[in-house]
Structure 1
Amino acid sequence: MTAGWSRKDAGLFLLALGWLALTLGVRPLALPDEGRYVSVAWEMLTSGNWLYPTLDGLPFFHKPPLFYWITAASLSVFGMREWAARLAPYLGAAVAAFTLYGFALRQKGTTVARGALLILVTQPFFFGGAQFANLDMLVAGLIGATIVLAAEAGMNADRGRPYKALLTSAYLAAALGVLAKGLIGIVLPGMVIVVWLAWNRRLPLLRQLLWIPGLIVFLLAGAPWFVAMQARFPDFLHYFFIYHQFQRFAEGGFNNPMPFWFYAPVILILILPWSLWLPAALKNLRQNPEAKPTVRSLMWIWILGIVGFFSIPSSKIVGYVLPVLPPLAYLIAEGLARRRGGATPPRMPIGPAVLAGTICLGAIAANNIFNHKTDRSLSARIAAQRQPNEAVVFLRNQFFDVPFYLGLKAPVRIFDDWRATKTSKADNWRKAMADAGRFDPQRAAQLLFDVAQLDRTLCASPVTWLIAPKGAEGTEAFLKQIAPFATHEGTTVWRVTRGELAARGGCGQTPSGG
């Protein structure tokens, strides 16, 4: 039943990687997430500070640095291209596909393995996640790799086969998962493995899986960055672990509050049409019994455990459940193989795959047609007119993708009501910047300005490019007297000159007759 990688399997996997890369660079960075995370990586590259992430020049500790390291390295090699900015999620998807495919080949053979790979990479949810520049797919791939490697190590140990190389790889994947997004990189795989062993009455295997050399690998790979950050910023561990990893998980009223059952229908919709074949995974479960501990029970516990975990808090972000897509693909593939009697040579579900692929490409096309929430075109117009020494400032918003598209080498000054932000609990860009400023108050004083200081700042430079939300002229009276340079959707740009301000009575001058 089991099989190793053949030349055909390697070719199929490379074909899957090509499919996932097909539309990697055909759309602009989505706001706010892609713009924010790519902007942080761009700053890491331009500043030369690879030790810790910064957002507009201030320490940004919402997430660990692995995504930013990969993205900054990609941009340094391949240049300022959208597809290069999405290399990290693409690599996360590749890791998820590679480990699932190899695991299924060894445990179930080519029929299930090839079906699972086809189903996984044509799930619209997985296809989109592989091309979305945030941290979710990267950590999902590492969580999946940790579960698969640890489970196979446990099965090998149970059967008296070599397992330590697999276990070492599992600990390394867990450490990278922690560096990708924090404690979930080890907590979720650990939860799945423990429940799986308990369900199969194999808990004594934990004595072999909790392996001292593996723990040393985990600490050597995952701990140094956290130690370095605590040494440099005394409040780091409390802010990162207590606030971001525990309090925000437990608190209500955070981003996107949804009912407990939210994830189940969302997943079924986002993996269409494959969810229509999911009932096949539920049929005849007692036929063809597996040796314990079973692969099938691992997959179900993997899905239910992670969906259950993220269903607890009121805040529910769709990308959090990306880790359940590999086991769903496996179960659907195995269900189809059982329904067909494990046909050899494998009968690939080509029809549904073509439909699924069409949905994937259609979703990307629809995004390009209907999603106009991007500052790429505005940035191109600014770049065509702006001289390198002309300042860029933001008013009452943070335009995350502008530094990337303009290739700015220095942080942007942001003008807003920062004193009101200090008392606000709303989770938004203002709070993120205010929190970042607490780690470096001196730097924050040079970048975060009260709106009352805007006139003085504009008068200090011969030319300033002012970017603001559409309608800002309603709150800043002097902008009513200056024609906008460009407007797109919810963003307006002004090219403000000191001479024009002085002519209209600004900069301590009296208005001229003209």
Structure 2
Amino acid sequence: MNIIRLNFKPILFFLFYVCILLLPTLGCFNLFDWDEINFAESSREMLVSSNFSQVMINFEPFHEKPPLFFWFQVLSMKIFGIGSFAARFPNALLCIILPVVIYDIGRRLKNATFGWIWSIIFISGFLPNLYFRTGIIDPIFNLFIFLSIYFFYKYFNSLKLNNILFSGLFSGLAILTKGPVGLLIVLITVLFYFVLLRKNISLKHILSFIIIVVLVSSPWYLLELINKGPWFIVEFIQYQLELFSKPVAGHSQPLYYHFLVVLIGCFPFSFLGLKNSFRNSGFGLDFEKMMRILLWVVLILFTIVTTKIAHYSSMAYLPLSFLASIELYKIYNGKKFNSFLKYSLIIVGSFIGLILMSALFIIINHKDLILTIVKDSNIQYLLENQMQWLGWEWLIPALIVIGTLFSCFFLNSRLIPSLALYSIAIGLNFSLLCKFVVPNIENVIQGSAVSFYEDISFEKKYLTTVGFKSYAHYFYSKIDLLDSNDSLYNAKKKILKTNFNSLSLNELSSEDKTRFNNYVLSWYINGNIDRPVYFATKKNKINSQLEAAKNLIVIKDFGGFKFYKRELK
């Protein structure tokens, strides 16, 4: 079966887009704590340990994510070396693949014009464009879910076995990327579509779908079960349930959170697709119903989930952009651009651009004003970090204003060129921000810590954070794999045996792991070490145990962080 019929025009356009507007600034700033560094560190540890079947953090099993995305990052790091560029490159590559895929699907559903509209408007959204520049899992996860749903839709229309098999393949890949939530989204969406439209379905074909999902996703899970026993599956399932039932890591937000994130973060297509999100557009495609169901499944599901993080609802971007494309296609074919919608886009787009310009102007020219207004001690400490400004960077978001005005006024007469220019304006806006603004912001947030970790990265040392959670020290200090020749390795074994009667950290409960970490911290301070030990803390969370220790010296105190060292004697 020919899944995608190659058309070189969209391939060349999006290749040009990525090469000019993404790749040059992909590595201009360090990875951000937590998610970006977390995932990149797991990939780095795969390379260091040559253990590509196990996801690890600090060379200990990391049960929260399956390995597929890390394999892509590992391949990228093999090619480009370990760093922020390599960690983000898989998603940048996806900025070619995903738009070309939805162009081809749009062409098959309607025609090439609709394919162009859909693919261009998708990358014009703020958050979709931004996520292609990150090292997070969600873009590729969303692609697999979307393709699984698309092939299920094709199956309903044709009842051909190959479509259900492809759907199962991509569901299996989604499970290997981020876990069973991928299959959950597919099944809920398909179930609602099946019930509402009363589609025919073959039980044999459903069984084939299940078999393919299991064949694709289960080998890795079975390997983990064999190697580590049932604790891994238990921990993995428990973590997934915790995401649903309580705010993990403090990510608690109001019920309307994801609706607001999608509305503002997917501008302009969130406004263009808003009407079609609630009612049938009369476009004549059942796929519209499937996309409407998918949109609401994602928004409602992640509203119910207690842990609320912005990219959790990113699966909503594809169906919402499809619904927006219907409206734009109608305008292309002669429908008058609704004046209320037109001026709403102009007002909101201009407002967003002007707000960003104003915020940057204050940050660049009036840092003292921020220090006067903001009383939070941590922010004041962070602003000790120097920011290198040229002075004009606050003008960059003007591209949003200009792009919005231009595209809105020329949408009726030259729709596709207007959309293309708007997408380029948004891409250029993010590219310039990544080059001139984000490095300064990143330096303020974590710069002093990252530079310290990099300074000691070639030392043979032990390093820990105290009082705050981070993954940056693992990645940027190049924490190494310990063995029985290292004192810390043996100390951890002894702590587990003596205090918990256990041979593995994996067997401990969350409460016991906290106690275990406290024992390890005490060993770092007073134990028989064979390497120097470094401690990183935040200045607004000073640890009394470190302050009281006579054998520790403060070696750096700047930019919101305080660093201690215990010398090897």
Deviates more, 1:174-183 or 1:22-31: 22-31
**Equivalents in 2 of 1:287, 1:382: separation in Å?**
58
Match of 1:15 in 2: 16
Please list every run of 5 or more consecutive structure 2 residues that lacks an aligned counterpart in the other structure: 335-411, 496-503
- 1:322 corresponds, among 314, 317, 332, to 314
Match of 1:301 in 2: 293
**Equivalents in 2 of 1:463, 1:252: separation in Å?**
37
Q: How does 1:217-256 map to 2 (within 5 A)?
A: 217-231=212-226, 232-241=228-237, 243-251=238-246, 255-256=250-251
**Equivalents in 2 of 1:462, 1:327: separation in Å?**
54
- 1:74 corresponds, among 76, 80, 83, to 76
**Equivalents in 2 of 1:156, 1:344: separation in Å?**
38
Please list every run of 5 or more consecutive structure 1 residues that lacks an aligned counterpart in the other structure: 158-162, 420-433, 500-514
Q: Does 1:276 find its partner at 2:271?
A: yes
**Equivalents in 2 of 1:17, 1:130: separation in Å?**
9
Secondary structure in 2 matching 1:64? coil
Spell out, residue by residue over 1:38-90, the C-alpha distance to the aligned partner (whole angstroms, 9 max, x if none). 21221121112222212112211012122222222322332112021124444
- 2:191 corresponds, among 191, 194, 197, to 194
Q: Does 1:335 find its partner at 2:312?
A: no
Secondary structure in 2 matching 1:485? strand
Q: Does 1:408 find its partner at 2:516?
A: no
Match of 2:352 in 1: none
Look up the equivalent residue of 1:336 and give its one-letter code: L
Instruction: Return the offset for 1:375.
Output: 4.9
Give yes or no for contact 1:391–1:465 (8 Å, CA) kept in 2: yes
Secondary structure in 2 matching 1:408? coil
Instruction: Return the offset for 1:121.
Output: 1.5
Q: How does 1:32-181 map to 2 (within 5 A)?
A: 32-90=34-92, 96-157=98-159, 163-181=160-178
Deviates more, 1:447-456 or 1:254-263: 447-456
Give yes or no for contact 1:91–1:138 (8 Å, CA) kept in 2: no
User: With CA pairs under 8 Å and 6+ residues apart, which has the higher RCO, 1 or 2?
Assistant: 1
Match of 1:426 in 2: none
Match of 2:366 in 1: none
Give yes or no for contact 2:22–2:431 (8 Å, CA) kept in 1: no
**Equivalents in 2 of 1:444, 1:316: separation in Å?**
24
Give yes or no for contact 2:171–2:182 (8 Å, CA) kept in 1: yes
C-alpha distance 4-47 of structure 1, shift in aligned 2 (>3 A): closer
**Equivalents in 1 of 2:23, 2:156: separation in Å?**
34
Instruction: Return the offset for 1:15.
Output: 3.3
C-alpha distance 383-16 of structure 1, shift in aligned 2 (>3 A): closer
**Equivalents in 2 of 1:127, 1:210: separation in Å?**
36
Q: Does 1:310 find its partner at 2:302?
A: yes
Give yes or no for contact 2:18–2:96 (8 Å, CA) kept in 1: yes
Spell out, residue by residue over 1:462-498, the C-alpha distance to the aligned partner (whole angstroms, 9 max, x if none). 6433333336465423568865333443322334424
Instruction: Return the offset for 1:24.
Output: 2.4
Spell out, residue by residue over 1:371-397, the C-alpha distance to the aligned partner (whole angstroms, 9 max, x if none). 346656545455556754344344444
Give yes or no for contact 2:546–2:552 (8 Å, CA) kept in 1: no
C-alpha distance 448-226 of structure 1, shift in aligned 2 (>3 A): farther
- 2:257 corresponds, among 227, 242, 262, to 262
**Equivalents in 1 of 2:148, 2:118: separation in Å?**
18
**Equivalents in 1 of 2:544, 2:58: separation in Å?**
26
Give yes or no for contact 1:61–1:436 (8 Å, CA) kept in 2: no
C-alpha distance 228-492 of structure 1, shift in aligned 2 (>3 A): same
Give yes or no for contact 1:16–1:118 (8 Å, CA) kept in 2: no
TM-score, scaled to structure 1: 0.79
Give yes or no for contact 2:332–2:415 (8 Å, CA) kept in 1: no
**Equivalents in 1 of 2:505, 2:266: separation in Å?**
37
Secondary structure in 2 matching 1:484? strand
Deviates more, 1:17-26 or 1:130-139: 17-26
C-alpha distance 385-70 of structure 1, shift in aligned 2 (>3 A): closer
Structure with more of its chain in helix, by fraction: 2
**Equivalents in 2 of 1:244, 1:234: separation in Å?**
14
Q: Once superposed, what is the RMSD of the aligned Cα atoms?
A: 3.8
Give yes or no for contact 1:274–1:356 (8 Å, CA) kept in 2: no
Secondary structure in 2 matching 1:260? coil
Spell out, residue by residue over 1:378-424, the C-alpha distance to the aligned partner (whole angstroms, 9 max, x if none). 454555567543443444445412232233322696999xx9xxxxx
Look up the equivalent residue of 2:524 and give its one-letter code: L
Give yes or no for contact 2:155–2:161 (8 Å, CA) kept in 1: yes
Secondary structure in 1 matching 2:254? coil
Match of 1:512 in 2: none
Match of 1:216 in 2: 211
C-alpha distance 43-354 of structure 1, shift in aligned 2 (>3 A): closer
- 2:526 corresponds, among 456, 459, 480, to 456
**Equivalents in 2 of 1:467, 1:486: separation in Å?**
10
Give yes or no for contact 2:277–2:320 (8 Å, CA) kept in 1: no
Give yes or no for contact 2:292–2:319 (8 Å, CA) kept in 1: yes
**Equivalents in 1 of 2:515, 2:218: separation in Å?**
32
Match of 1:371 in 2: 442
Match of 1:486 in 2: 556
Instruction: Return the offset for 1:346.
Output: 6.7
**Equivalents in 2 of 1:445, 1:331: separation in Å?**
51
- 2:426 corresponds, among 346, 356, 362, to 356
Give yes or no for contact 1:89–1:136 (8 Å, CA) kept in 2: no
Instruction: Return the offset for 1:335.
Output: 0.8
Q: Does 1:497 find its partner at 2:499?
A: no
Spell out, residue by residue over 1:122-179, the C-alpha distance to the aligned partner (whole angstroms, 9 max, x if none). 211112222322322231221112112222233233xxxxx44443222111111001
Deviates more, 1:401-410 or 1:83-92: 83-92
Spell out, residue by residue over 1:298-338, the C-alpha distance to the aligned partner (whole angstroms, 9 max, x if none). 21111111111111123222111111111222221221111
Match of 2:379 in 1: none
**Equivalents in 2 of 1:335, 1:489: separation in Å?**
49
Look up the equivalent residue of 2:127 and give its one-letter code: F
C-alpha distance 315-390 of structure 1, shift in aligned 2 (>3 A): closer
Look up the equivalent residue of 1:318 and give its one-letter code: A
**Equivalents in 1 of 2:429, 2:458: separation in Å?**
43
Spell out, residue by residue over 1:422-468, the C-alpha distance to the aligned partner (whole angstroms, 9 max, x if none). xxxxxxxxxxxx9756399xx999987443333333x6346433333
Match of 1:184 in 2: 181
Secondary structure in 2 matching 1:389? coil
Q: Does 1:466 find its partner at 2:535?
A: yes
TM-score, scaled to structure 2: 0.72
